[in-house]
Amino acid sequence: MTSDKLTGREIPGRPTISADRVVAEASPTTSVSVSIVVYRSDPDLLRATVASLGVALSYAHDSGVLATAIVDMVDNGDEDPVELGEILGSVGDARWITQRVRSGGGNVGYGRGHNGPLLDSKADYHLILNPDVLLDPDAIAAAIRFLDSKPDVGLVAPHVRDMDGEQQYLCRAYPTVLVLFLRGFAPAPIRRLFQRYMHRHELRDRIGDRVEYAIPLVSGCFMFARRELLQRVGGFCPDYFMYFEDSDISLAMGRVARIAYVPSVRIVHFGGGAARKGLRHTKMFVRSAATFFRRNGLRIA
């Protein structure tokens, strides 16, 4: 075990794979590409994210469900490319994993940052991953197995916990102006009055220990999808700089395939809360919400 300096959480090492969990293939051919967009990310948390990704990729490879992987780290800031390369090396040195740092493009926004690796990819599956996520060791293997068995599903959303182990409800219904106001700006007493309304928006009556289909919107912190379908919908819409690009691409993916919540795919997520990040993020949130409603239709309540 190693410890994340930022949180003190233990990061699991490479797990022992018991015979009854292995679904081995003589010569696996499945490939996965991964994109991580960073902008002045905390280096300790980023390193922990990459290390957990490496463990999950190795577990999938050793389980016989993954042949090759490409991991792209996209620098949207002004990071030292040598330091980013060293952090990316935490994914491991296996020959079947290709590591690439993409830098020099400036801050083009979250979605456009992911579009470079995504639209270039020729892998079977693509993982859109935040730099503040820890993957459970079997997360990627579980996602591959699920999509391999469900050809009508195009995108998998995981079971999400926060750093304290509490579940985060990041699968959502179509947003309304009221729910966005409540989530982002309303004081706690007002939010409590509308708690049941907000819980319906977060699909809390559906998101638990069972697979759920026809999920309207999922979070961009972890999107595991069929690469061909992500490319068919054109990747992320470039009209968004930050916020709501994941909601927009969820709607696009939902028009070409089913979206499923799969509780066996498990992650820990450290981020969230635009309103708590200051006025600049609040303005971006409001601007992106307006773009989303203009593109997809306005709902008040």
Q: Is 216 exposed, middle or buried (0-12, 13-18, 19+ CB in 10 A)?
A: middle
Work out the average pLDDT over 286-293: 96
Is residue 290 scored above 60 in pLDDT? yes
Per residue in 17-26, pLDDT (tens digit) is: 333 333 334 4
Percent of the chain with pLDDT over 90: 79
Average pLDDT value for residue range 95-119: 93
Amino acid letter, residue 69 = A
pLDDT band at 155 (very low <50, low <70, confident <90, very high): very high
Instruction: Check pLDDT > 50 for residue 4.
Output: no
Check pLDDT > 50 for residue 260: yes
For the full predicted model, state whether its pTM sits above 0.85: yes
Q: Rounded to an integer, what distance in angstroms lies between the CA atom of residue 69 and that of residue 155?
A: 18
pLDDT at 190 (0 to 100): 94
Other C-beta atoms lying within 10 Å of the C-beta of residue 24: 11
Cβ atoms within 10 Å, residue 230 = 26
| Confidence at residue 27, expressed as pLDDT on a 0 to 100 scale | 60
Rounded alpha-carbon distances, angstroms, from residue 183 to 32, 59, 158, 159, 279: 34, 37, 21, 21, 15
Average confidence (pLDDT) over 88-113: 93
Fold entry, domain 29-296: Spore Coat Polysaccharide Biosynthesis Protein SpsA; Chain A (3.90.550)
User: pLDDT confidence of 11, banded at 50, 70, 90?
Assistant: very low
* Residue 210: exposure state from Cβ atoms within 10 A (0-12, 13-18, ≥19): exposed
Range among 37-46, 79-88, 135-144 with highest mean pLDDT value: 135-144
How does pLDDT run across 213-254, given as a tens digit for each residue?
999 999 999 999 999 999 999 999 999 999 999 999 999 999
The torsion angle over the Cα atoms of residues 64, 67, 68 and 71, rounded to 10 degrees, is: -20
Mean pLDDT (the chain, rounded)? 90
**What residue segments make up the domains of the chain, in order of their start?**
29-296
Strand pairing category for 153-161 and 258-269: parallel
9: pLDDT strictly greater than 60? no
**pLDDT greater than 90 at residue 104:** no
